[in-house]
Amino acid sequence: MEKSKGFWTKHSRKVRKPVRRRGLVPLTRVLQEFSPGDRVHIKIEPSVHKGMPHPRFHGYTGVVRERRGRAYVVEIKDGNATKQIIALPVHLEAQKK
């Protein structure tokens, strides 16, 4: 029988927290705000499933283009293609200047 190809196949190590970091995230991560033009890192927060970008984009750096509801549209370069990722702020981290 063929192995199932679920959503987390080959991505489970990216979306797993260390034992002592398990649980909910601080409110500051949930309530952080970005403005268009800010550079952000896509860092998936496994305990929040809503607004989670696809695990293949974990670790990418992009530019915030707009706000869409509570989420942000982040533009990234994937090879020669430019892609737009929609993610909640809990999955984003501001780039240090």
pLDDT tens digits for range 19-51: 998 998 999 999 999 999 999 999 999 899 899
Cβ proximity of 62 and 95 under 8 Å: no
pLDDT interval class at 6 (50, 70, 90):
confident
Q: Considering only residues 11 and 93, tell me which one the structure prediction assigns the higher pLDDT.
A: 93
Q: Using alpha carbons only, how large is the chain's radius of gyration in Å?
A: 14
CATH top-level class for 34-94? mainly beta
What are the tokens at 5?
């190809």
pTM: 0.86
Answer yes or no: is pLDDT of 10 > 90.
no
